[in-house]
């Protein structure tokens, strides 16, 4: 009898293994995939299909070009291992130009009831990062389908000459092509293509909000989760970054007298030789992005951005979305120690405040009168270690917070916007200062409670003190992906949360140990930026009126 029980148990386990294995074989439009099975913290099994190509390898003539959809494959594609990261300066990591892959995680294979889809776009200042950095251990305990994607960055994703040879925005177009792939294929994985939420951190948040402004992408998703970032942080837009392209070419002994030949030469260079060129050395401020999106000239191509996001978001006819967007308490504080030790940077900021603030904090056309900013953030005559707190706030607001606030105010007139500040201090942080304790809540600290992020914290167990925050945040994301509204009074982890849509009363949700509705996020600090823009506009109007008067008087006489 005992042997029969053991035999029966063995047959059960074998059948269970075979059923899981066979379920990990899937056929999509491109061909057959063999995935793998993973488990959540709660020992719930789900299927993972990794390293699925959505574009041809962007090598040779395809380097610096818009992505080309991948061709169908024959046989069964091994989708059991993560693919390489896109090109970046990461030693001891698997990097490659052949990196345009995505990963799909699902518990819903074979179901006729399709689940909402969350597509996550990683951050990294448009210079580094990978889909592998943010993994599904926590979020797959929720009732969703998750997709993570790779995209090009640095010169490979954003080199722009302003000519048809290298138009720019390749990395954003990679993301857009991935979204098209998802529309065409996600139902096979049990995902609902009509309920796609795009989510992103940092440069990923810049990206997902840029997709809201892009005619190429805006019909490929329904909802947006922007974690610490907004494309409206950029107030100055160009149609090229030819100076950076020329500098790169010069360092690699490529001609710069002919753009066509220059780009072709750069396409022939080994990718590793391009990586070692520090274009940031040519910038006035080394503490911000070296590569960024552009407004595209019309060469007959499908343009990702044909006008600035500010112009798009000012149009009341913009395609409405539901948006959940927010910041952390101390966002970019981690940058301050390095900055304060940089004697050259401190000297520039002290002696050339206007130009340095413009380049470091995206003030662009509003940089002519930065006295207001300095008075609020840096009141000391000399900026030094006493300025730590003020510099932390300035880096945070100039790089992240004020751009997010601008977007919230723009789009809340025609969209449902849920605005938050994350203030919970857990055991682990991106930034520990002065010793081994978290300095508040730094950039990306909130994401560790949604996607397990190996570079911030070890994987949390069900008994860790942070477990309640993981349960809370993953349920907020799940609820928002399902209905476009994070509130759910029937959920025990959310029943005490009352999160209203943002309106002119300026309410937001403070997510800490408790969830509290508050009014007026950093009002004094944001007013300083508002006053800067307002004073710059008054100067422009006054200059225009003076010029008009001079022309009129000249004509009279």
Do you find a cis peptide bond into 434, omega within 30 degrees of 0? yes
455: closest CA among 102, 120, 86, 130?
130
Q: CB burial class (10 A; 0-12, 13-18, 19+) of residue 62?
A: middle
Q: CB burial class (10 A; 0-12, 13-18, 19+) of residue 135?
A: buried
| Coil, helix or strand at residue 330 | coil
* Cβ(58)–Cβ(262) below 8 Å: no
DSSP, res 188: G
Rounded Cα–Cα distance for residues 400 and 526 (Å) = 12
Which stretches of 161-317 are DSSP H helices?
A: 170-185, 203-213, 242-251, 259-268, 271-275, 309-313
* Cβ(54)–Cβ(77) below 8 Å: no
Instruction: For residue 427, indicate whether it is catalytic.
Output: no
- Torsional class of 125: left (φ above 0), alpha (ψ -120 to 50), beta (otherwise): left
Rounded Cα–Cα distance for residues 214 and 312 (Å) = 9
Annotate 396-410 with three-state secondary structure.
HHHHHHHHHHHHHHH
Order of strands across the sheet that contains 31-34: 25-28, 31-34, 76-78
172: closest CA among 187, 156, 185, 184?
156
Our CA dihedral for 424, 120, 430, 329, rounded to 10 degrees, sits at -40
Rounded Cα–Cα distance for residues 108 and 455 (Å) = 29
How many beta carbons lie within 10 A of that of residue 503, not counting itself?
Answer: 11
* Cβ(435)–Cβ(422) below 8 Å: no
Rounded Cα–Cα distance for residues 183 and 357 (Å) = 42
Do you find a cis peptide bond into 166, omega within 30 degrees of 0? no
Catalytic residue among 160, 202, 207, 244: 202
Beta-bridge partners for 149: 102, 121
Rounded Cα–Cα distance for residues 211 and 199 (Å) = 11
Active site residues: 202
């Amino acid at each position: 009898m005992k042997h029969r029980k053991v035999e029966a148990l063995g047959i059960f386990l074998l059948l269970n293994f075979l059923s899981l294995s066979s379920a990990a074989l899937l056929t999509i439009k491109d061909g057959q995939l063999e995935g793998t099975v993973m488990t959540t913290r709660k020992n719930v099994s789900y299927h993972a299909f990794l390293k699925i190509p959505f574009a041809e390898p962007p090598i040779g003539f395809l380097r610096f070009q818009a992505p080309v959809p991948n061709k169908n494959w024959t046989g069964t594609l091994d989708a059991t291992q993560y693919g390489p990261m896109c090109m970046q300066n990461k030693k001891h990591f698997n990097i490659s130009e052949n990196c345009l892959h995505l990963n799909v995680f699902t518990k819903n294979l074979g179901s006729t009831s399709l689940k909402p889809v969350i597509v996550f776009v990683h951050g990294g200042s448009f210079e580094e990062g990978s889909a592998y950095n943010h993994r599904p251990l926590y979020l797959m305990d929720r009732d969703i389908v998750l997709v993570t994607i790779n995209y090009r960055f640095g010169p490979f994703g954003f080199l722009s000459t302003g000519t048809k040879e290298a138009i720019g925005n390749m990395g954003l177009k990679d993301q857009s092509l991935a979204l098209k792939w998802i529309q065409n294929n996600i139902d096979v994985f049990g995902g609902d293509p009509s309920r796609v939420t795009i989510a992103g951190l940092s440069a990923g948040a810049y990206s997902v909000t840029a997709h809201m402004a892009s005619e190429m992408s805006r019909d490929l998703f329904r909802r947006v989760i922007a974690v610490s970032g907004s494309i409206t942080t950029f107030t100055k837009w160009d149609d090229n970054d030819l100076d950076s392209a020329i500098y790169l070419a010069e360092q690699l002994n490529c001609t710069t007298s002919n753009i066509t030949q220059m780009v072709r030469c750069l396409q022939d260079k080994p990718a590793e030789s391009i990586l070692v060129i520090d274009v940031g050395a040519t910038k006035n401020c080394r503490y911000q992005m070296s590569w960024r999106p552009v407004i595209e000239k019309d060469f007959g191509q499908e343009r990702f951005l044909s006008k600035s996001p500010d112009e798009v978001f000012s149009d009341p006819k913009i395609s409405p979305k539901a948006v959940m967007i927010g910041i952390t308490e101390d966002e970019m504080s981690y940058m301050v120690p390095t900055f304060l030790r940089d004697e050259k940077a401190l000297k520039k900021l002290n002696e050339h405040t206007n130009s340095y603030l413009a380049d470091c904090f995206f003030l662009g056309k509003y940089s002519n009168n930065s006295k207001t900013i300095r008075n609020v953030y840096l009141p000391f005559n000399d900026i030094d270690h006493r300025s730590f707190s003020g510099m932390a706030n300035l880096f945070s607001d100039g790089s992240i917070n004020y751009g997010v606030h601008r977007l919230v105010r723009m789009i809340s007139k025609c969209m449902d916007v849920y605005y938050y500040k994350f203030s919970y201090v857990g055991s682990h942080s991106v930034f520990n200062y002065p010793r081994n304790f978290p300095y508040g809540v730094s950039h990306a600290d909130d994401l560790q409670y949604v996607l397990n992020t190996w570079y911030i914290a070890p994987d949390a167990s069900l008994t860790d003190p942070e477990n309640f925050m993981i349960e809370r945040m993953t349920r907020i994301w799940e609820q928002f992906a399902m209905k476009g509204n994070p509130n759910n009074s029937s959920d025990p982890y959310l029943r005490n949360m009352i999160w209203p849509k943002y309106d002119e009363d300026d309410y937001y949700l403070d997510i800490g140990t408790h969830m509290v509705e508050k009014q007026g996020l950093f009002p004094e600090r944001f007013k300083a930026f508002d006053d800067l823009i307002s004073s710059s506009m008054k100067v422009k109007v006054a200059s225009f009126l003076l010029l008009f008067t001079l022309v009129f008087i000249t004509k009279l006489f």
